[in-house]
Structure formats: structure tokens, C-alpha cells
Amino acid sequence: MKTAKRKMSEERIQSVSGQRSASQALIVVALLMLFAFALRVFRLDAVSLRGDEAFTVIFVQRTWAGLWKGISTVEPNPPLLYLALRVWVAIAGASEFATRYFAAFFGVLCVPLLYRLARDMFHSFALAFIAAALIAINPYQIWHSQDVRNYTLWPCLSLLALIFFWRWWNAERRTPQASRWYSDARILNLTFYLFATLASLYTHYYDVFVLAALNLFVFSFVLWERRWRTLARWIMAQVTLVALYAPWVLFGTNRVTTYGEASAQQSVPLLDQFSRTLATLIVGDTVPNDLKMFVWVPLAFLLFGTLVYLARRDKIRAAFLALWIGVPTLALYAISLGRPLFLERYLNVIAPADYLAFALALNAIRNGQFKIHRWVFAGVGLSFVLLSTVSLSNYYFDPAYAKAPDWRALAQYIAERQQPGDVIVQNFTEMSAIYYRSGNIPVTTVPKDFTPTPADEKILRQLNQQYRRIWFIPAQPDWWDPDHMVENFLTRNDDRILETHLSVFRPQLYLTPLEFESTIIPVNVRVGDATLIGYHVQNVRPLHVLLIWQARQHSAQDLTVFVHLTDANDHIIAQQDSAPALGTLATSVWQPGERIVDAHEISVATPGVYTLVVGMYDPATRARVPVLDASGKRLADDRVVLTQVTIP
């Protein structure tokens, strides 16, 4: 009797101890989640939405028919993110903070999910906590947690699927083969795994690579151990997955076989792909490339060393981790040989596997299992913390690593100056201008593709006929329109009255002929092979002079236009000499009958009354070309005297 009572007492103590340990673990994980949440909401809306984010927010606010059509024919991702975000935007709004909070929520959720997966796989609180801590402070995951795309929702759903997979797998290996499949929790976990995987597949097409890794894992060990009933249950789940997902891939979208990412790379060597991905998933994109290329070697050494160490003790889990990392990496390498499809973020689904592997290494060092001093644990752990700190510091506070330029400042600058009849033109594909615009000012992208076509010039001519003023946002040098076709067109056909610098932007404001044509004072004087049709002077500082030329015939020379201000003694007080159209259009390429808008700005230091004269000369000889009036008489000094100008 006493023995039975003692046994019951010991069991009660163990139960209470287990409950206390579970409660303590729950508190620790909750605190870690709170820390991860703080990192992900800190300065959440400090930087403007980048182009892909702005596109996503605008995209999900389409009509239902427009959204579904866009998912099927435009967007390279399956529908789940857009449908879920549409609901969220309807509830929380479309502000930067609200939309990024959607991504941050799933980024935080990855922390307890990785903890749970590690506990289910290795039954170690310390190991699971380290893995969860690594993903909590990881700068790459924080970057994507503040980005309105699918790169937190995807790993979150994938981790959820893997948790149910391991619960099913552990139950299968504990349960005798002869037991009924419907009499325990195995079928329930397999069902949950199926729907979580389906959700993950409907979030990103590349989740199929994780599915392939799991199938290799299951078939390898099940066939080796001849667990036929386990294999039958798994095959049933896979057939169900195919039945629920294949119709979308086959009939719902055309993007799977046709998509190629403009910003992605093609035929990247496998070692380069592996090294870049590993370094990026650990230290992020907000550190110098030299640092990334330095850290990938020790990271790779630690990763492979951990897999070898694990393989000697647990071949099943070692194989699982190796397949989880290796299959998606090799698959992305293979499909990117023929199309530009490699970007590091396309492998973000394997990031938790890397963090789990490094947690294994740190835990083994902590336990003295690597036969090295335990102080190495502190050194390696501190290295991860320092790398994350440097990367996060750059991300949060260094403008050089900002994910987007200051679209808000640009939009505010335009809004303070915009007028009815204005239009915004940009020569690169970016939706941020539409997201941040004030009111309903139209925003147009020209050219439509990277390289301009004659159709794009036709669009610009139509804009000149429809709008009075054009705000132009030029692309950066490595963006679209490499030959600056749009800027050159506007410079030669419109009057640029403003150009400034904001962040990386160089916004310009042009008056179209609709705006300035009525102010042109006619001249109709022949200057060389061209006619000076008329001019307009805007008496501001600097003095703004607009000349309208028309080519009479082809000129063999590249002439310089001079615009002079002279005093009462005919001395030149100020001047501006340049090739026409702000130096962009040599006279030798003028076509007969072509009309050229030629703007000049002259800085005048001394107030007074001056005479404005213009003409052309050969820059090689400094000889002026003949100037003839309407009757054919040659004017003195081969120059056109336009008007007197008073400089206040």
C-alpha cells in the first residue's frame, strides 16, 4: 500500500513539474515573441512603400473581377496573399503601417512556429528556443516582415505544414502497422498537414519544392522500412493535394510557364547561388557585399558540419534537414537556367531550416558535444547577434540601405505645386507614384517596356496635346529608358521650367505647347538653315528664355546657340551658349520642317535694363551663321535683337 501511495505521489510531482516547465516555456516563448514583435513594428512606416509593395496595395483594391483577372494573367504569385490582404485592407485600411502590419503579423508568428517544429523534431527546449531566437532577430526576416508581399506568409504556412507533418510522422513511427488508420490522431494530423500545405502552395508556387523534398524523405524511409500502410496514407494525401491544386495551375493561371522576373538573374552558378542565399538569409541585404562574401564560408562550414554531426546520431532528421535545404536550392538553380528566376527571396522558405541547423550547432556546442570549449558557444552566438545588430542598424537608420526612396517627399513636393491640367510621367515601371499621388492627378509610364518604341513617342505627343503641364520623374541610370528617350522628347518639345533634387529623384516640370504657345512672340527670322519662329521671356532669376526653332533644311554643322544680354554700350553682361534643347539636340540631326523648343537660363548679377540678342555660330571657328529677316536682308552682326529686359 505504501509503495502504491509513493508511486502515486511521485507521478503527481512529475505532473506538477511538467506543468511548471510547460508554463515556464510558454512564458519564455511569449517574451521572445514580444521582442520579435517590437523589432518588426519599430519604424514600420518610416520608409515609403517600395514599388512592389505599392503595386500590391493598389492591386488588391481592384474590383473582384479585376483582381481575379490580374492574379490569373499578371501577377506571378497564387491568389491567397491577395485575397487575404484584400480583406485586411477593407478592415484596417491601406496605409503604410496597416498594410505592412499584415506582413509583420505573420513574421512574428514564424517565431513560435519554428519553436514548435524544433520541439516536435528534437524534444529539446534549449534547441527550440535558440532556433526561435535566431529567426526572431534575423534581419532578413525583419526586412520582409516590413514588406507588403508574401515572404512572411509563405514561411509561416510552410512551418505550420511541417509541424503537422512531424506530428503525423512521429505518430506513424510509434504506432504499430496493424492499427487502424482511422482510430488515432494520425489521420487528423495528416489532414491538417494537407490543408496547411495547400495554403502554402496557394501563397507561392515554389512551395512545390518543399513538397518534393518531403516526398523524397517519406518515400526513402518508408520504402526502406517497408511501412506500406504509412506509404498508402501518404500517397492518398498527395493525390488529394494534386486534385485540389492542379486545376489552378492548369486552368486558373498562365504565369507558371511564362513568367520571368525582370529583376531576377538567369544561369547563376550553383555555388554562387548557394553562397549568396546562405549569406543573405543570415545577415540580410543591408550589409556591404564584402561582408556577405566573407561570412558565407564559416556559415557553410558550420552548416555542413552540423548536418554531418546530426547524421551520425539521427539519420532521419539529418536527411530531413538536408532535403529541406537542398531540394529547393537545386530546383531553383535548375529552373533559372532557362529563365531569369533566381532571387534570394525565392528561397526564403528554407530559411527556417538554416536557423534550425545553426540552433543545433549552438546547442551541441553548449552541451559540449562538439568536443570544443563551451566558451565557443558564447562566441558563435554573439557573432549571430552582432551580425544582426549591424544589419538592423543599417536597415533602420542608414538611408543608403533604405528599401525605397522618399516617395512621400516627392509626392508632397508635387502636390504643393500641382495645378489642374497637370500629369505625372515616369519612364520606369513603379506604382509608388500612384500610391502617393495627391488627388486624382494622372500618372503615366512611358516607355511601356525597358526599351522605347515609336508607340511610346506617339503617347508623349498625345500627352502634349491633352495636358498643359507635365511633371516628369526620370529613372535612375540603371533603370528603364537607358537612352533617355522621354527626357529628350520633353526637352525638345516642351519648356522645362523647373528641375530639382529630392532623395534620389530629379523631378522636372515642363510646360506643354498648350500652356506656352499663346505667350510666344513671333519673330520669323532665318538663322542659318533654320527659322527662329518666336520666343518667350520669363523675367525671373535666372532669366528664362524660350526659343522656338524650325528647321528649313538639313544642316551639315553642329552649331551653338548664343543668348546674350547686352548693356547700353552693347557690352555682353551675361550669356548662355549651348547646343539647342539644353544640349540634347545637335543641329546636324534636325529634320526639315521639325519644330524645336529651345530653353535657356541666364544668371544676371547686376540689376538693370538690358537687350536680349540671340543667334548661332560654329563652335570650331566662332563664326556666326548669317541671319536674314523676312525680306531676305542680312542683319547686322548676324544676330537677332529680341527685346529689352529689366532685371530687378
Q: What is the pLDDT of residue 3?
A: 55
Question: How confident is the model over 425-467, as pLDDT tens digits?
Answer: 999 888 999 999 998 899 999 998 888 899 999 999 999 999 9
Is residue 95 within 8 Å of residue 408, measured between CB atoms?
no
Pairing of strands 572-578, 560-566: antiparallel
Question: How confident is the model over 336-358, as pLDDT tens digits?
Answer: 998 888 999 999 999 999 999 99
- Percent of the chain past pLDDT 70, that is, above it, reads 93
* pLDDT band for position 82 (cuts 50, 70, 90): very high
- Rounded distance, CA 48 to CA 399, Å? 12
Q: Does the pLDDT at position 609 exceed 80?
A: yes
Mean pLDDT over residues 379-389, rounded? Answer: 90
pTM for the whole thing? 0.88
Place of cell 549651348: 578
Question: How confident is the model over 143-171, as pLDDT tens digits?
Answer: 999 999 999 999 999 999 999 999 999 88
Question: How confident is the model over 22-48, as pLDDT tens digits?
Answer: 788 889 999 999 999 999 999 999 999
Q: How far is CA 11 from CA 6, 14, 15, in A?
A: 9, 5, 6
- Percent of the chain past pLDDT 90, that is, above it, reads 74
Q: What is the pLDDT of residue 647?
A: 87
Question: How confident is the model over 523-578, as pLDDT tens digits?
Answer: 999 999 999 999 999 888 889 999 999 999 988 889 999 999 999 999 999 999 99
- Rounded distance, CA 27 to CA 126, Å? 14
Pairing of strands 469-473, 495-499: unpaired
- Rounded distance, CA 506 to CA 489, Å? 16
Show the beta-strand stretches assigned E in 491-594.
495-499, 508-511, 521-527, 530-538, 543-551, 560-566, 572-578
Q: How far is CA 200 from CA 104, 164, 192, 416, in A?
A: 17, 13, 12, 45
- Rounded distance, CA 560 to CA 541, Å? 23
Instruction: With H, G, I as helix, E, B as strand and everything else as coil, classify residue 277.
Output: helix
Q: How far is CA 433 from CA 64, 242, 516, in A?
A: 23, 41, 26
Q: Does the pLDDT at position 14 exceed 50?
A: no
Q: Does the pLDDT at position 9 exceed 60?
A: no
Q: Output DSSP code: residue 202.
A: T
Q: What is the pLDDT of residue 8?
A: 45
- Rounded distance, CA 132 to CA 153, Å? 17
Tell me the backbone φ, ψ of residue 150, rounded to 5 degrees. -105, 20
Cβ-based neighbours of 12, under 8 Å, separated by 6 or more: none
Q: Does the pLDDT at position 135 exceed 60?
A: yes
Mean pLDDT over residues 398-417, rounded? Answer: 94
Question: How confident is the model over 242-268, as pLDDT tens digits?
Answer: 999 999 988 878 777 666 566 778 889
Q: Does the pLDDT at position 377 exceed 80?
A: no
CB atoms within 10 A of CB 578: 14
* pLDDT band for position 18 (cuts 50, 70, 90): very low
Question: How confident is the model over 190-214, as pLDDT tens digits?
Answer: 999 999 999 999 999 999 999 999 9
